[in-house]
Amino acid sequence: MSQETESGPAVPAESDAAAAPRAKKGGAAPRSNARALEARRRFIRTAVMSTGVVGAGLAGYLPVAAQADNPRLRPPGALDENDFLSSCIKCGQCVQVCPVEAIVLGDITDGFGLGVPHIDSRKQACDFSCDAVQCILACPTGSLVYRKPDFLKIRPGAELAHKPVLKAKANDPEPTLNLIERAGLARLSRPEACLATQGKGFKGPARGADFTGQMRYMDVDRWAPIPVADHPYERDLCDLCVTECPIQDAIRLEVTEAADGSKRGIPVVMEQCVGCGVCEMICPVEPTAIVVDSRAVWEGEA
């Protein structure tokens, strides 16, 4: 209702003013409290969902950044990392044909590498028991190749001087592996821990009775790998990384003799190292004294 005043026209009563909210400038009526509250809720939901989507997308980068200094070792013949990740369809065919089960698929900690094949050499190295690098034969996309196509360049130092000779095939008419590029390079990471540098020998299973890794031993069976734990060693001077390396001229032991007749040795990685990881797997020291650096290139003997 309106009330008359002595000085002028009628003005709205207090009850009328409370019932009719004031219009905003420009003449637009304000939203009701319920509509404003619902709009606020929609905004919060949208913001939370957007943050989740962006966070999930960025989550793939976190493991990649964490592993930047320690990239995964890929199977033999793998393309360079970016090309490999973009071409691999995660089918697992390479995993199925590996006779020693060296190739495994990445888990969630690998970020964008989830489901992508790699090798953890310390747990199980590639010893080329297949003779023909079957993982390359099984790959349907060309992520693993004997030779890169011409439009993909080989990184300097990644190319081998010649095709590697497989010790197990030394007496075959064709003893080489059809590889021209290394997957990585071995490195004596802890020379002070190496048994040979200390002049020590080794006796027993290389990694203990509980180690599950496998390897081919030519004096046992050329075609059937056996558990490393079932093949004990006895060496006056430890040289397992040299004798068990499947590639000829990939690593040697330089031995020096002191005046008292004691001997010490040091493993020296050579140019034909393909980065198979057997030296890392077989090293009896814990943690290992020798490692394989993925994607490392040859820069000459250290």
pLDDT above 70 (res 7): no
Q: Which range (7-16, 82-91, 106-115, 247-256) has the least confidence?
A: 7-16
Full residue range of the structural domain in which residue 219 is found: 69-294
Residue 54: C-alpha distances to residues 47, 57, 153, 226, 265 (Å): 11, 5, 35, 48, 54
pLDDT above 70 (res 29): no
pLDDT band at residue 22, thresholds of 50, 70 and 90?
A: low
pLDDT above 60 (res 20): no
pLDDT band at residue 65, thresholds of 50, 70 and 90?
A: very low
pLDDT tens-digit profile of 154-186? 999 999 999 999 999 999 999 999 999 999 999
Scan for tokens 């299973």, then name that residue.
Answer: 205
Residue-level pLDDT at 35 = 74
Please report whether residue 51 resides in a domain.
no
Instruction: Report the distance separating Cα 101 and Cα 261, nearest Å.
Output: 43
Please report whether residue 284 resides in a domain.
yes
Residue-level pLDDT at 84 = 96
Please report whether residue 62 resides in a domain.
no
Please report whether residue 252 resides in a domain.
yes
pLDDT above 80 (res 3): no
Residue-level pLDDT at 112 = 63
DSSP 243: H
Please report whether residue 283 resides in a domain.
yes
Please report whether residue 54 resides in a domain.
no
pLDDT tens-digit profile of 230-285? 999 999 999 999 999 999 999 999 999 988 989 999 999 999 999 999 999 999 99
**Residue 228 or 108, more confident:** 228
Please report whether residue 130 resides in a domain.
yes
pLDDT above 50 (res 130): yes
pLDDT tens-digit profile of 33-59? 777 777 777 778 777 776 665 555 545
Number of domains in the chain: 1
Residue-level pLDDT at 63 = 47
- At residue 146's C-alpha, the angle toward residues 144 and 147, to 5°, is 105
* Average pLDDT of the residues of the chain: 87
Please report whether residue 33 resides in a domain.
no
pLDDT above 80 (res 66): no
Specify the amino acid at residue 188. Answer: L
Are the C-beta atoms of residues 210 and 130 closer than 8 Å to each other? no
